[in-house]
């Protein structure tokens, strides 16, 4: 948490007081471990949130490590956040209103806010990837297709 030190100054004859911030000291925040979060989808997917609303109480950004099994598919969504996804292993399929893209290990994709997308890992071995959401993922802002729970 930031710490500030202040110096209090007086103008001639004490007519005007003012506060001046002299220094601000900050310290990095260690995220010792992620929080595992239940995922939406046709098969169990592992979500480990390192930064976000659950693990670090940060609404500005979320960073999660995902592992989805072969044959996994989640409901379509039209989120209120941008999602940046870097595939580490396997392949992630991203459907969108005009078709689909297969994102392979070493590639990344940006799903823009308010665009419909659906993620899946249909191929052998599934997928492992990092997802970064700006602002942070929230069940209230993901807007899953009707009939599916949010997670």
Give residue-wise pLDDT tens across range 113-129.
Answer: 999 999 999 999 999 99
Confidence check: pLDDT of 134 > 50: yes
- What pLDDT score was predicted for residue 149? 44
* Closest listed residue to residue 139, CA positions, set 62, 33, 70, 42: 62
Q: Which long-range contacts (CB under 8 A, 24 or more apart) does 138-141 make?
A: 138/53, 138/59, 138/81, 141/79, 141/80, 141/81
Confidence check: pLDDT of 7 > 50: no
pLDDT digits (tens, 9 = 90+) for 27-69: 999 999 999 998 889 899 999 999 999 999 999 999 999 999 9
Could you tell me the two tokens for 90? 């396997």
What does the alpha-carbon distance between residue 25 and residue 75 come to, in Å, rounded to a whole number?
44
* Closest listed residue to residue 94, CA positions, set 64, 67, 73, 66: 73
* Closest listed residue to residue 10, CA positions, set 1, 2, 18, 22: 18
The domain 30-142 having CATH identifier 2.60.120.10: the answer here is yes
Mean pLDDT of 2-27: 57
Residue pointed to by tokens 């260690």: 30
51 and 58 in contact (C-beta within 8 Å)?
yes
Confidence of residue 138 (pLDDT cuts 50, 70, 90): very high
Confidence check: pLDDT of 97 > 80: yes
Confidence check: pLDDT of 5 > 50: no
Could you tell me the two tokens for 13? 């004859």
Higher-confidence position of 38 and 76: 76
Q: Are strands 99-104 and 46-51 parallel, antiparallel or unpaired?
A: unpaired
Confidence check: pLDDT of 14 > 90: no
The Cβ of residue 43 has, within 10 Å, a number of other Cβ atoms equal to 14
> What is the average pLDDT score of the chain?
88
């Amino acid at each position: 948490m930031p710490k500030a030190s202040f110096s209090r100054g007086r103008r001639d004859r004490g007519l005007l007081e003012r506060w001046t911030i002299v220094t601000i000291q900050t310290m990095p925040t260690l995220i010792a471990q992620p929080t595992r979060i239940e995922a939406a989808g046709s098969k169990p997917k592992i979500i480990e949130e390192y930064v976000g609303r659950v693990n670090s109480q940060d609404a500005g950004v979320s960073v999660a490590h995902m592992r989805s099994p072969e044959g996994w598919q989640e409901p379509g969504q039209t989120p209120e956040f941008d999602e940046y996804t870097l595939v580490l292993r396997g392949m992630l399929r991203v459907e969108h209103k005009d078709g689909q893209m297969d994102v392979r290990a070493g590639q990344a994709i940006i799903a823009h806010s308010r665009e419909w997308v659906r993620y899946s890992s249909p191929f052998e071995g599934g997928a492992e990837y990092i997802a970064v959401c700006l602002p942070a993922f929230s069940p209230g802002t993901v807007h899953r297709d009707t009939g599916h729970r949010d997670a």
